[in-house]
Structure 1
């Protein structure tokens, strides 16, 4: 009698094929992104790219890394604001959220996880500080909502400034981004509805129960975990009037704006005086929007570079300088991301030992 586990002639279940596709999607995105980035660099003047990058110098790169540190600290504070003061957060103080925000970023920018894997890991690691799983998951959901929402606002600012620029290319790009933002607004509204609407919650519970039944068997369909997350979401949204959620939103907005400082430093070091504050804001806001639109491509490989070439061309920045600018923006990804990955593995190894004290 043939062992079913060894019978390779039997058709694979549809759910197994679906999981296989999802697992390979980030890898495919990585390969496509690397191909696009390599093509962009290879088809432009390598000497010009290297010269522009070299002019930033060690002091300029150090300043940009420090700005990125401040950005991630603000994002960590914003995350912590979503559940500050709630029961069930254990010993998770501001230090924990800052540390884990660096870990989230390091995973998202350096590993093939489609730009969201770090957020999932960050929520799980928060439980190492004693936070309940439901509250950790809910905090990640709200934080990602605020991060995406404030990015949409920042992109809208970039569109508004771009509409002041003359030229058909600028207006065509602004129109495309506005359409993308309209889709984003619908998706964010659906995300909020899924958290707040009783009907959406009931539908989500049925989907989760169906998924558990399909993956683990009938006995798994009645798991109460979904209700715990919804209860934690209710607790978070109930605190909206206390100002914590508003503070989280403002901190995320400040973080997005600070990203423009990185570009300003790089352009000043390279020596591009013709680009002003408005142009820098446009480049940062819309390059981030383009990168986020290609979320299946980890860290926007290739996509970010193409976005900088496109946007830089609107303001007289040559392709070599634009590509160098994109590479400069990736320096903090590596400088901060590698220690973050090491920290992640250290936290995993120490799981269940000593909980850090409340910051």
Structure 2
């Protein structure tokens, strides 16, 4: 008699991974619904009118500011691996920083999806997989840390204002910053801890699944003698702290330039009574609200709600606040779409080079 083999039920861990896979898609749907609701419940004509007043020149200025912001972030990323035994020039980091941002803002992935792809693409320039992964981990830590510092500056300015709404928002932001500080500290200690070696094999296994077959050698390089933990030790060496500090300064300057985008939009719309301090507060707190909803790709809907909430503190009506948020999304499309095309071009070229010869 032949026994019938019954397949075992799927493991809970597998179900958990599937749920996490669909989380960004769910976030996209919820965010899109929130964005539609915000527009539908406010005067659509006022949103259209405010956005129209920005004009082509104003939108072009906002796009140029975003180019400057991402360029500074790209150069900051390059500082992480500067003078190490890598073959990538600064231009590679600059190009891939645009790709990272394009993926994060336009595709239904978590806010770190573009960073993972950016680390992979960096290996196309001959950077070992261990150093590419280490550079992404360190750059993300610096990026989030400087963004938290920028939010703290905004909160300090907000606390100078009078009113219960300002005080409540400042208190919420301070609590969020406290949580962020704990997470950043844990992330830094994890990078410096031997525990990193314990998860390295698992990371390499996931890397093999993520990389194409022809790139398995790049994934295998992550399990060398030193591995990612050894690369992190090299990056965090005390003699390299001045270079890392340069990256911190460049990132902080980039977040400051993000406030200039708001100033350009409000000036073109003819909004009065909003000075430099107010612009910094709006940018800082809207970034904090957007970061708090990181599972929602590009903060869809959340960003708009944040602008409505924070803009109301300075007498900015909801229609104008939503138009301001939409203006901030114009660079996402103008720069993001070419970045996605560039990403696919790089992948196609890599596949062509690595393809086995026919015959």
Same fold flag (TM > 0.5): yes
Which residue of the partner structure matches residue 270 of structure 2?
A: 271
Which residue of the partner structure matches residue 155 of structure 1?
A: 151
Q: Provide closer, same or farther for how the CA distance between residues 338 and 153 of structure 1 changes in structure 2, counting only shifts above 3 A.
A: same
Q: 92, 96, 110: which one pairs with 1:100?
A: 96
1:185 has 2:181 as partner: yes
1:187 is paired with a residue of what secondary structure? Answer: helix
Contact 1:149/1:188 (8 A) holds in 2: yes
Poorly superposed stretches of 4+, deviation over 2 Å? 1-4, 200-212, 223-227, 239-242
Q: Provide closer, same or farther for how the CA distance between residues 169 and 131 of structure 1 changes in structure 2, counting only shifts above 3 A.
A: same
Contact 2:308/2:318 (8 A) holds in 1: yes
**1:58 CA displacement:** 0.2
Q: Distance in 2 between matches of 1:120 and 1:253?
A: 22
Contact 2:78/2:90 (8 A) holds in 1: yes
CA RMSD of aligned residues (A): 2.3
Which residue of the partner structure matches residue 19 of structure 2?
A: 21
**1:334 CA displacement:** 0.3
**1:226 CA displacement:** 9.3
1:230 has 2:229 as partner: yes
Contact 2:200/2:223 (8 A) holds in 1: no
Which residue of the partner structure matches residue 74 of structure 1?
A: 72
Which residue of the partner structure matches residue 252 of structure 1?
A: 251
Which residue of the partner structure matches residue 135 of structure 1?
A: 131
1:306 has 2:302 as partner: no
**1:59 CA displacement:** 0.3
Contact 2:200/2:227 (8 A) holds in 1: no
Q: Distance in 2 between matches of 1:121 and 1:340?
A: 12
**1:109 CA displacement:** 0.1
- Can you give the 5+ residue segments of structure 2 that lack an aligned partner in the other structure? 208-221, 354-359
Q: Provide closer, same or farther for how the CA distance between residues 133 and 10 of structure 1 changes in structure 2, counting only shifts above 3 A.
A: same
**1:273 CA displacement:** 1.4
Q: Residues 109-163 of structure 1, C-alpha deviation per residue, up to 9 Å, x if partnerless?
A: 0001111100000000000000000000000000000000000000000100000
Contact 1:205/1:226 (8 A) holds in 2: no
Contact 1:240/1:246 (8 A) holds in 2: no
Q: Distance in 2 between matches of 1:137 and 1:126?
A: 9
Q: Provide closer, same or farther for how the CA distance between residues 210 and 97 of structure 1 changes in structure 2, counting only shifts above 3 A.
A: closer
Q: Residues 9-62 of structure 1, C-alpha deviation per residue, up to 9 Å, x if partnerless?
A: 742112220110111000000001001111000000000000000000000000
Q: Provide closer, same or farther for how the CA distance between residues 240 and 274 of structure 1 changes in structure 2, counting only shifts above 3 A.
A: farther
Contact 1:53/1:325 (8 A) holds in 2: yes
Q: Distance in 2 between matches of 1:51 and 1:44?
A: 13
- TM-score for both structures, normalised by structure 2: 0.90
Q: How many residues align?
A: 339
Contact 1:128/1:352 (8 A) holds in 2: no
Q: Provide closer, same or farther for how the CA distance between residues 240 and 43 of structure 1 changes in structure 2, counting only shifts above 3 A.
A: farther
Which residue of the partner structure matches residue 172 of structure 2?
A: 176
- TM-score for both structures, normalised by structure 1: 0.90
